[in-house]
Amino acid sequence: MAQPPSVRRQLIVAVAVPLVFSFALTILALDNIFRQSAQQALRARLEEEIVALVTAAELLEDGRMDLHVLDPESRLSRRRSGQYAMVRNTHGRILWSSPSLAGLPLDFGPLVGTGNAIFRRKVLADGADLGVLSRGLEWDYAPGGRADLVFSVAENLADQNAQLLRFRRQLIAWFGVLAVLLLGVLGELLRRVLRPIRRLEVEIAEVDRGQRAQLGTAYPRELAGVARSLNVLLRSEQRRIVRYRDTLGNLAHSLKTPLAVMRAGLAGGTEQHGSVDREIDHIAQIVDHHLKRAATSGGAAVGQGAVPVAPLLAELRATMLKVHSAKDLAIETEVAARAGFLGDRGDIIELLGNLLDNACKWCSGKVRAEVQLLDEQTAQPRLLIRIEDDGPGIAPEDRGRVLARGVRADERAPGHGLGLAMVADTVALYGGEVLISESAALKGARIEVTLPGRALETDVLKSGE
């Protein structure tokens, strides 16, 4: 399939067509003005010649005409000089003709009434182009004597036509040069203006070939948003690739110990089958964890809608009450229903579920969950999630390390230390923050998470038990 033309070429063609068309109309208009001016100048010259003939003419009583005062240097005196004259009466009788007409069969056209004038162009048999002016005059040649005469003059238009041809050639040449210059300047301007687009194309190709990881910066305002969005997509895809690679490595490493225990248990006989079952459960948890990590979206993506937090927290609250039904448990929630999470629905469900499950596991009987939307009026609102419990809390020296994978504040308690680690991983994917402190109201642990947010069109929802 043929490659479509470039934007630069399309713009040049789009400008060149009307430009050439307008130049052609301008050339035609100027040519018409020049021709009319030349014709008016020719007619003015012929009128002057008629005036000179009338001034020099003398009509005798016998009807003959005498023009003996003609300038010997006049073109009318030279044979076939290109300027001709004739005087006729109303009956068509030639009273006088210029010496330049000798041997030239020139028809000056029909007779003209007194007071009228006719200008026309005539082409002779040899191709000569003439301009002919005939004017009818009333002539008083004696007391009481008068006659109606027709004075006709003609001039060869060879010089005028040559001048018109030179003018047309110069006009076309100058406008042609001007069009080429304008199109050249336009092409250079478009090359400069479209340079950022070409740069964007080159950088995308380099990313595709693996020569660069991100697009550059300092793009014009019209392309800055495009480059930013593409970089977001690239970072998301790069995080996804790294996460899959790390997940496979972590999964392989995590399975070594359980497999070794299972191998030892199977070799030890039936009395070791209980430990094998426990390790199988352990493997299932590890696999489930790493599969979830590999399937997370990898942060906020371009064009992603906000996920309402209020209904998700209500569903998780009901689930936790069932899971931890052995406890006399109360879970209070206070959620700004306008609060939305700018990211993947599965990520926020997993994060909230791990935080609530961890709080319910360690609390004495009360858990409080609060969700707020910070900086709502700004371009980048933030979602604040605060989970508190009335349990023993987390010692200050353990607050940093419990976010690491496989670390627990109390090693005697059951579990694998993955819940808060998964929370930390998800928060890191979205560029958020995790803060662990002591709850001022419940005296237990308080975990605050900040994530990308967005306002929804709803009201504040409160529920508690």
For 51-116, the DSSP string reads HHHHHH-EE-TTS-EE-TT--TTSGGGSTT-SEEEEEEETT--EEEE-GGGTT------S---BT-
Buried b (16+ CB within 10 A) or exposed e, 216-232: eeebeeeeeeebeebbb
- The confidence band for 369, taking pLDDT boundaries of 50, 70 and 90, is very high
Strand segments, DSSP code E, in 143-203 are 145-156
The β-bridge partners of 99 are none
CA distances from 297 to 47, 276, 312 (A): 94, 34, 18
pLDDT at 424: 86
In whole angstroms, give the CA distance from residue 132 to residue 407: 115
Return phi, psi of residue 139, to 5°: -110, 125
Contact in structure between 296 and 242 (CB atoms under 8 Å): no
pLDDT at 354: 87
Angle formed at CA 252 by CA 246 and CA 258, multiple of 5 degrees: 135
Q: Calculate mean pLDDT across residues 214-233.
A: 83
pLDDT at 3: 66
Question: Which among 309, 333, 307 has a CA at the least distance from the CA of 320?
Answer: 333
pLDDT at 323: 81
pTM: 0.48
Q: Amino acid identity of 413?
A: A
Axis crossing angle, helix 419-429 with helix 345-362, rounded to the nearest 10: 150
Q: Calculate mean pLDDT across residues 301-328.
A: 82
pLDDT at 169: 92
pLDDT at 247: 67
Q: Is 365 a residue whose pLDDT tops 60?
A: yes
CA 186 to chain centre: 18
Residue with tokens 């191998």: 263
Could you report the per-residue pLDDT of 422-441, keeping only the tens digit for each? 788 888 888 899 999 888 88
- The confidence band for 378, taking pLDDT boundaries of 50, 70 and 90, is confident
In whole angstroms, give the CA distance from residue 80 to residue 220: 74
| Mean pLDDT, rounded, of the chain | 80
Which CATH code is given to the segment(s) 11-163? 3.30.450
pLDDT at 416: 42
- The confidence band for 314, taking pLDDT boundaries of 50, 70 and 90, is very high
Q: Two tokens at 110?
A: 């029909």
Q: Calculate mean pLDDT across residues 130-155.
A: 83
pLDDT at 415: 44
- The confidence band for 463, taking pLDDT boundaries of 50, 70 and 90, is very low
When mean pLDDT is compared over 72-81, 107-116, 200-209, 366-375, the highest value belongs to 366-375
- The confidence band for 460, taking pLDDT boundaries of 50, 70 and 90, is very low
Which residues have CB under 8 Å from 219's CB, separation 6+?
196, 199, 200, 226, 227
Angle formed at CA 65 by CA 59 and CA 68, multiple of 5 degrees: 105
Q: What CATH architecture does domain 307-463 belong to?
A: 2-Layer Sandwich (3.30)
In whole angstroms, give the CA distance from residue 386 to residue 257: 36
Angle formed at CA 282 by CA 278 and CA 283, multiple of 5 degrees: 120
In whole angstroms, give the CA distance from residue 333 to residue 316: 11
pLDDT at 451: 93
Q: Calculate mean pLDDT across residues 50-62.
A: 79
Q: Is 388 a residue whose pLDDT tops 90?
A: yes
Q: Calculate mean pLDDT across residues 267-282.
A: 61
Return phi, psi of residue 291, to 5°: -65, -40
Q: Calculate mean pLDDT across residues 143-165.
A: 85
The β-bridge partners of 147 are 139
Return phi, psi of residue 60, to 5°: -85, 165
Q: Two tokens at 436?
A: 């662990």
Q: Calculate mean pLDDT across residues 301-316.
A: 80
CA distances from 319 to 78, 103, 354 (A): 123, 124, 12
Residue 379's CB is within 10 A of a number of other CB atoms, namely 5
Question: Which among 62, 63, 133, 125 has a CA at the least distance from the CA of 94?
Answer: 63
